[in-house]
């Protein structure tokens, strides 16, 4: 065992000093020590973005073991949307831990699980009769949505889209588009999964939503056949694939085709859900009401929870005992989710996301005006991305993108990259971040761009 003398970690949450503060190089000595232990003890396949040892977080910052305070533009991948260690979440979780930690909902049901299902049925798009089931992770929710759709339609095939991301389990790897790093060497993959072209306005020649949908539907009809197709699964705004916002009408046309062909339309809102895009759910931005919605990430402020919510007739298709799991809808995660959902509504966080959109896109467009390497700025709410290109050709510039991201982290700003071509920097700040920190984060990005 390695002995490390410990300093008392600061208490997290919104009372942490809201500042970028670098007292060592990143990584500092304590962080380096942890990363050495990580390299020796943790499987190499589990990577990391920021080379720090996190010890506290809240508002818009993450504090490391060396005393550095980094601006958080990632929210642990769109999870701590209400803010890290939000006081209401801390209070609810602490109370629940002291009461009971687990009974297994399938053994001895408890109220908070039912209350989360009721809340999800209420806040998701559409006023039709809905039901929900709770799980542990996004991938597990996606797996279950597919199970339910297959059982309901008595069909097997599933269509996912170019650039789509749905998780790292076997079925969800099959649904995910990108080989490296998500799939390479991990096959064989689940069968009866097919891929259709996505509407990608920046790279598909600006096809209209209707034309892009016609193209996708033609591929589906020719290569799969509606009579074999159980479900179409799509992220209304793609996350890992590069924050790709489909052209208006694309999702609507697809949904209409699904409705007239007895195909379940599943919106994977795991990254876009819970206020992230300026609406409670991104589907609302496109005026669509999906049959099923998968949620996770922002749902419970960091506690592991995921859900499938949707049309009661579809959700009830699976027989008793066919859905569930030991931990799904764990009472501590449910307590966190109920607190988080209350915060989304009482603090009107979707409108805060829209303010963040205005600030981020304004600053980024200013940068773009004098920097042709910024090919595209897109996204909604607090889910905004920049796609970097080689100006002469428009080709993706993944090298520049990773250099910029690395430089930002070294300067105390946590940013994440994404995109099929690795040439997108995405901004997913917690909605609790201040405008000052957002501006400072963008100053750092501007300086990194100027230096590269």
Ligand X SMILES: *Cc1c(COP(=O)(O)O)cnc(C)c1O
By the criterion CB under 6 A, which residues form the site for ligand X?
Answer: 137-139, 142, 165-167, 235, 239, 268, 270-271, 296-297
* Shortest CB 304 distance to ligand X, Å: 8
As a whole number of angstroms, the distance between CA 254 and CA 232 comes to: 9
Q: Confirm if 293 and 100 have CB atoms less than 8 A apart.
A: no
SS3 (DSSP) at 353: helix
Residue 123: exposed, middle, or buried by beta-carbon count in 10 A (0-12, 13-18, 19+)? middle
70 or 142: CB nearest ligand X? 142
Residue 322: CB atoms within 10 A of its CB come to 11
- Smallest separation, CB 241 to ligand X (Å): 9
Min separation Cβ 345 and ligand X, Å: 23
* Closer residue to ligand X (CB): 68 or 144: 144
Measured from the CB atom, the residue of 13 and 302 that comes closer to ligand X is: 302
Burial bucket for residue 365 (CB in 10 Å: 0-12, 13-18, 19+): exposed
Exposure on the CB side of residue 26, measured as CA atoms within 13 A? 25
Closest to 57 measured CA to CA, from 355, 354, 437, 339: 437
Give the nearer residue to ligand X in terms of CB position, either 142 or 384. 142
Hey, is 437 helix, strand or coil?
A: helix
Q: Which is nearer to ligand X, 139 or 437 (CB)?
A: 139
**Least distance to ligand X, CB of residue 272, Å:** 7
Cα Rg of the chain, angstroms: 22
Residue whose CB is less far from ligand X, 308 or 437: 308
Least distance to ligand X, CB of residue 279, Å: 16
Residue nearest to ligand X (CB): 138
Residue whose token pair is 């897109």: 378
Provide, rounded to whole angstroms, the least separation between the CB of residue 259 and ligand X.
23
Nearer to ligand X, 32 or 137 (CB): 137
Looking at the Cβ atoms of 233 and 335, the one nearer to ligand X is 233
CB of 183 to ligand X, least distance (A): 14
Residue 50: which residues within 8 A CB-CB, separation 6 or more? Answer: 26, 62, 70, 409, 414
Least distance to ligand X from the beta carbon of 325, Å?
13
- The CB density around residue 402, as the number of other CB atoms within 10 Å, is 15
Question: What is the smallest separation between the CB atom of 130 and ligand X, expressed in angstroms?
Answer: 20
Rounded Cα gap, residues 101 and 112, in angstroms: 12
Least Cα distance to 431 among 9, 14, 120 occurs for 14
Alpha carbon 392 to its chain's center: 32
The least CB distance from residue 169 to ligand X, in Å, is 7
Q: Do 194 and 263 form a contact (C-beta atoms < 8 A)?
A: no
The dihedral through the CA atoms of 50, 43, 78, 84 has a sign that is negative
31 or 420: CB nearest ligand X? 420
* Dist CA 169 CA 191 (whole Å): 14
Write down the least CB distance from residue 137 to ligand X, Å.
4
Of 267 and 389, CB closest to ligand X: 267
Q: At 406, phi and psi to the nearest 5? A: -60, -45
C-beta of residue 273 within 8 angstroms of C-beta of residue 295: yes
Q: Give 64's strand partners.
A: 54
Beta carbon nearer to ligand X, 296 or 307: 296
Q: What is the 3-state secondary structure (H, E, C) of 307-349?
A: EEEEEHHHHCCCCCCCCCCCCCCCHHHHHHHHHHHHHHHHCCH
Residue 21: CB atoms within 10 A of its CB come to 13
Q: Which is nearer to ligand X, 96 or 137 (CB)?
A: 137
Contacts of 397 (CB under 8 A, 6+ apart): 373, 388, 389, 390, 423
CA distance 343 to 298: 12
Question: In angstroms, what is the minimal distance from the CB of 3 to ligand X?
Answer: 34
């Amino acid at each position: 065992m390695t002995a490390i003398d410990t300093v008392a970690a600061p208490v997290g949450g919104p009372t942490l000093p809201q500042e970028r503060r670098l007292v060592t190089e990143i990584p500092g000595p304590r962080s380096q020590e942890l990363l050495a232990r990580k390299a020796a003890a943790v499987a190499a396949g589990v990577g990391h973005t920021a080379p720090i040892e996190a010890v506290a977080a809240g508002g818009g910052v993450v504090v490391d073991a060396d005393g550095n305070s980094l601006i958080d533009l990632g929210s642990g991948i769109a999870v701590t949307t209400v803010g890290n260690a939000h006081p209401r979440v801390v209070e609810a979780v602490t109370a629940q831990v002291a009461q009971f930690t687990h009974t297994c909902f399938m053994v001895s049901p408890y109220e908070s699980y039912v209350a989360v299902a009721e809340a999800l049925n209420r806040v998701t798009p559409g006023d039709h009769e809905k039901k929900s089931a709770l799980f542990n992770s996004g991938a597990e929710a996606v797996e279950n949505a597919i199970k339910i759709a297959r059982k309901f339609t008595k069909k097997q095939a599933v269509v996912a889209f170019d650039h789509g991301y749905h998780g790292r389990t076997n079925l969800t790897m099959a649904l995910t588009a990108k080989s490296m790093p998500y799939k390479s060497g991990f096959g064989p993959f689940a069968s009866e999964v097919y891929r259709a072209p996505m509407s990608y306005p920046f790279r598909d020649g600006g096809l209209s939503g209707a034309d892009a949908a016609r193209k996708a539907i033609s591929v589906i009809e020719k290569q799969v056949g509606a009579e074999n197709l159980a479900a179409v699964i799509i992220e209304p705004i793609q996350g890992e694939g590069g924050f790709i916002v489909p052209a208006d009408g694309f999702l609507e046309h697809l949904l209409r085709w699904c409705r007239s062909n007895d195909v379940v339309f599943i919106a994977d809102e795991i990254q876009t859900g819970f206020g992230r895009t300026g609406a409670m759910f991104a589907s609302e931005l496109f005026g669509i009401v999906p049959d099923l919605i998968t949620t996770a990430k922002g749902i419970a402020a960091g506690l592991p929870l995921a859900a499938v919510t949707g049309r009661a007739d579809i959700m009830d298709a699976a027989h008793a005992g066919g859905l569930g799991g030991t931990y799904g809808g764990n009472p501590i995660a449910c307590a966190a989710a109920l607190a988080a959902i209350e915060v989304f509504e009482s603090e009107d966080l979707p409108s805060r996301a829209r303010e963040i959109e205005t600030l981020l896109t304004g600053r980024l467009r200013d940068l773009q005006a004098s920097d042709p390497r910024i090919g595209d700025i897109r996204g909604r709410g607090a889910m905004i991305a920049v796609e970097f290109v080689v100006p002469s050709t428009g080709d993706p510039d993944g090298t520049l993108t990773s250099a910029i991201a690395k430089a930002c982290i070294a300067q105390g700003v946590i940013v994440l990259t994404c995109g099929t071509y690795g040439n997108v920097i995405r901004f997913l700040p917690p909605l609790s971040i201040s405008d000052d920190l957002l501006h400072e984060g963008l100053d750092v990005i501007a300086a990194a761009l100027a230096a590269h």
